[in-house]
Amino acid sequence: MAAQDLESTARALVADNKGILAADESDGTIKKRFDSIGVESTEENRRAYRDLLFTTEGVEEFISGVILFDETIRQSSSDGTPFPHLLERRGIIPGIKVDKGAKPLANAPGETITEGLDGLRARFEEYRGLGARFAKWRATYSIGDGIPSEYCVWTNAHALARYAALSQEAGLVPIVEPEVLMDGDHSIERSFEATSRVLHAVFTELRDQRVHFEGILLKPNMVLSGYSAPQQASHDEVAEQTLRCFRRHVPAAVPGIVFLSGGQSDEDATANLNALNARGPHPWELSFSYGRALQAPALKAWGGDPANVEAAQKAFYRRAKFNSAARAGSYAPEMEREPVTA
């Protein structure tokens, strides 16, 4: 029965035309976002900002789930409704980020290992009691001179699989997030090679640690040119290289791939997802699990002023709608010129 529950939740998260909002920014990341609009990162400001996202009218048409941060899953809407209950009431599945962040990997300069396995079983039990139905763990890999090393690739794969096994044991769908960072001037071919190595290791470890593939989601990077590369790949080339990589390494049993946006612009993240889906059908659902690429226009429109909540919600609704269209391969850049209306 537990396996069936995991499978049905995983499928619901990648339902047609829907994707996931990543609202699980760490304290440091949300502070940077707030600094960019001149707003102090207080607990109340963070609560108010997430409240405006979660209460946006009609956004449940496009958003299947929300990844929450430890602070956020314990907070409530302005009417006193705990955020997980508010989301569930709207047909949106609450999730939780459980890793403790990427830390320097011993004896591997320039590389990281994600921490947070200690005490994770007990934390899963608490989070499930608070309303979470899925979880997320992120590992990061840099591309550079001689990196990512095999040591970094396999150490992170082992930790991702341990997390995923514990998550399924607790009855939560694990989102497995191996992110090959696109910072640098490397070519798209170099991204392909690094992403291939990472995915091979991740699925080897998941299999070895008895993780049920039908009850997970993969949250990877797209295969892109390095952000400072002199030549940037087109949306079509990104789609071609990404699909070639994923067909080689991601089992068809996995219900969905929910891409992260990384450092892409809002429009590029949507256009690349659209190019991927325009080449379907695929063995898995190709969806989104975007943070900044869904939130940036809303954050800017809000600016910390309660009078701007409606404008911010319209901006969030609009980006969610565009990414929903990209799920079906029906997004067009001309949509970006439409007036902001909900």
- Pairwise CA distance, residues 173 & 332, whole Å: 32
- Pairwise CA distance, residues 82 & 86, whole Å: 6
User: Under a CB-based contact definition with an 8 Å cutoff, are residues 287 and 259 in contact?
Assistant: yes
The structure tokens 């909540």 sit at 309
User: Under a CB-based contact definition with an 8 Å cutoff, are residues 173 and 10 in contact?
Assistant: yes
**Cis? peptide before 104, omega within 30° of 0:** no
Exposed e or buried b for every residue in 156-172, given b needs 16+ CB within 10 A? bbbbbbbbbbbbbebbb
Contacts of 300 (CB under 8 A, 6+ apart): 37, 315
User: Under a CB-based contact definition with an 8 Å cutoff, are residues 94 and 69 in contact?
Assistant: no
- Pairwise CA distance, residues 140 & 148, whole Å: 10
- Pairwise CA distance, residues 166 & 180, whole Å: 24
> Residues with catalytic annotation?
177, 219
User: Is the alpha carbon torsion for 309, 314, 315, 320 positive or negative?
Assistant: positive
The two three-digit tokens of residue 339, written as one number: 């007036």
The structure tokens 């960072």 sit at 181
